[in-house]
Amino acid sequence: MKLKQRWQQRVAERHSQGLLRGHDVNQLSQRGVVNFSSNDYLGLSQATAVKQAFCEGIAQYGSGSGASPLVTGYFPAHRELEAALCDWLNQPRALLFSSGFAANQAALFSLLDKGDVLLQDRLNHASLIEAGLLSNATQWRFRHNDMHDLSRLCQRHSAEMVVTEGVFSMDGDMAPLPDIAKISSEANSVLMVDDAHAIGVVGEQGEGSASQISPDITLVTFGKALGVAGAALVCSEAVYDYLLQFARHYTYSTAMPPAQALAVYQSIRLAQSERWRREKLASLSALFYQHLPEPLRSPYTATPIKPVIMENADQALAVSQQLLSGGFKVSAIRPPTVPTSRLRITLSCDHQPHEVIALCRALDKATEAIC
């Protein structure tokens, strides 16, 4: 009874703060609404070749893997996907997970022991921050992209491990990876980069932002620009050997369906070869800045993630509502997900130039009416 009361009270608190969240069944395309809130940056979730690979995979292997990977759940499709990832990111090994959330937990839970020190960028994704808190290590957070703060903490605590995102999910800015690599290598720390929002989008062949520095561990997720779902830790032989023995999220979880592995494999092939997708994103981004009203401008981002900072949660919600009634889905992201409420606009190469221009006009009107 005590527990039930506590749950109800916490939900009621969220409600009274205007921070209650809920599902919104996605019927946007049926309603003719343009979606500016998806992470399907390259439009690959709708690519014919990927859908076909998924279907053919089901015909070949069935719907599921049937077991965890170290029992009988590991198929040639998984091995080929790993090889494609290693080749793409120029790393020796890759280990597949059902989600990025699980992969981040697996890494931080298994690689760190009591007494180890872990440093993370303050704005790292919830999966990383929570994994660090629940891990055996002692966690310190450095100020966002602040190299002085990172150096200071590295020296003070002689950190075993440093973790940053490559492209930050809510701000769309990039980490200064060469500087972080230098500082962490001088401190003899292991470096892990979560490249969830860079993979497919950044780099000549979409190889992400981490490939330029070759960190010890890179998280790649398949549910964002690659348009499917799942994740991999891409790493050295030594990290792989260890994770394979000790990462419980790997050992005790059903392997991803082999058909899904085939779909991701096909998606990687398209992300590598179809450069027009990244080129189109770049031109939509330029168009966005050309038409976004001056007062709404946040710092420029070189990624498809375009935050527009609002004064408070209510304002963010009201603008988001008004945009929706005008035919644009733009999510309001509020605390505790982010420190400052914002609209998180994401561009996709499925968007048309006229849609981006219309969104900017609608933003101008909505903010003028509300803010």
Ligand X SMILES: *Cc1c(COP(=O)(O)O)cnc(C)c1O
β-pair partners for 118: 139, 161
Among residues 100, 132, 206, 258, the one that binds ligand X under rule CB under 6 A: 100
197 is known as an active-site residue:
yes
Out of 194, 207, 216, 274, the active site residue is 194
CA dist., res. 366 & res. 368, Å (int): 5
Among 38, 45, 169, 341, binds ligand X (CB under 6 A): 169
User: Which of 37, 45, 98, 169 is the catalytic position?
Assistant: 169
Q: Which C-beta is closer to ligand X: that of 263 or that of 319?
A: 263
- Work out whether 166 is an interface residue with ligand X (CB under 6 A): no
Closer residue to ligand X (CB): 111 or 360: 111
The Cβ of residue 192 has, within 10 Å, a number of other Cβ atoms equal to 26
Element (H, E) at 7: helix 2-16
Q: Which of 40, 45, 197, 341 is catalytic?
A: 197
**Three-state DSSP state, 173:** coil
Instruction: Determine which helix (DSSP H) or strand (DSSP E) holds 194, and give its type and residue range.
Output: strand 190-194
The interface mask with ligand X, positions 197-216, x = CB under 6 A, is x-------------------
Residue 194 among the catalytic residues: yes
Between 96 and 360, CB nearer to ligand X: 96
Known active-site residue 165: yes
List CB contacts of 26: < 8 A, sequence separation 6 or more: none
Window 75-94: contact mask with ligand X (x via CB under 6 A): --------------------
Rounded to whole angstroms, what are the CA distances from 36 to 24, 227, 305, 332, 371? Answer: 15, 15, 10, 11, 21
* Choice between 171 and 292, CB closer to ligand X: 171
Confirm whether 224 is a catalytic residue: yes
Site for ligand X in 103-132 (CB under 6 A): 104, 125, 127
End-to-end CA distance of the chain: 43
Stretch that binds ligand X, among 16-24, 99-107, 145-153, 233-241 (CB under 6 A): 99-107
Give the closest residue to 190 by CA, choosing from 250, 102, 104, 108.
Answer: 108
Residue of 165, 171, 195, 350 marked active site: 165
- The size of the chain, in residues, is 371
Residue nearest to ligand X (CB): 100
Which residue of the set 78, 224, 280, 306 is catalytic? 224
Please give the full DSSP string across 123-168, using - where no structure is assigned. Answer: T--HHHHHHHHHSSSEEEEEPTT-HHHHHHHHHHHT-SEEEEESB-
Residues 225 to 254: which contact ligand X by CB under 6 A?
Answer: 231
Residue 88: partners with Cβ closer than 8 Å, 6 or more residues away: 205, 206, 207, 268, 272
Q: Total number of residues binding ligand X (CB under 6 A)?
A: 14
Residue of 82, 165, 274, 350 that binds ligand X (CB under 6 A):
165
Q: Does 54 bind ligand X (CB under 6 A)?
A: no
51 belongs to the catalytic site: no
Alpha helices in 234-329 (DSSP H): 237-246, 248-251, 258-273, 275-291, 313-325
Note whether 70 and 254 are within 8 A (CB).
no
Asked if 194 touches ligand X (CB under 6 A), the answer is yes
Q: Which residues are catalytic?
A: 39, 125, 165, 169, 194, 197, 224
Binding site for ligand X (CB under 6 A): 99-101, 104, 125, 127, 165, 169, 194, 196-197, 221, 223, 231
